[in-house]
Amino acid sequence: MPLDRRSLILSAAALCACGAPPPVAQAAADKFADSQWRKITDPQWKARLAPASFEVLRQEGTEAPFTSPLLNEHRHGVFACIACDLPLFKSEWKFDSHTGWPSFWTEIPGALAKKADYQIIEERTEYHCAQCLGHQGHVFNDGPRPTGLRYCNNGVALKFIPA
C-alpha cells in the first residue's frame, strides 16, 4: 500500500522524534542545563577523564566485555558515576550477569535518566547519570528478581566507594 503525503509526513516526524529525549531524560536535561556540569566543555572532560571513560561517558561508547576490574568488586558500598561522583547503585544490587559488564537489578531512585536508543536498529533503553548526563549503559528485561531488570553498566563509567 503506497504512503500518502500525510502518512509520509507523520512517519518522518516519528523518526525525527526518536532523537528527542523522553520526559524523564528531558527533566534531567533541564536540570543539567542549569548545573555546573553543563559548563564543562569536551576538552575539559578529556582532561578530567581517562580516554576510555571519556569515550563511554561523553560519546556513548561501550567498553570491551570482561575488562572492568569492577566485575570482581564484592565489598559493601556504592557504585557512583566516575565523572561527577553521584551514587547510582548499591553494592547489594550487583549480580553476575555473565555478560562481561557490571550489572545491577535496580538503581538509586532519581540517579538515572533514560532514553530510547536505536543505534542497533532494535530499540533499547539507554541510561545516563542524572547529574552530569554521562552515558552509563543500557537496561534490559532479563535480570533477576525482584525487578527482572539488568542495568548493564560500563565499568569505566563507574567508581566504587566502599561503605
Catalytic sites, residue numbers: 152
Of 137, 9, 116, whose CA–CA distance to 65 is shortest? 137
Distance between CA atoms of 100 and 1, rounded to whole angstroms? 45
CB 111 within 8 A of CB 87: yes
Q: How many CB atoms lie within 10 A of CB 97?
A: 19
Distance between CA atoms of 106 and 67, rounded to whole angstroms? 22
Distance between CA atoms of 137 and 128, rounded to whole angstroms? 7
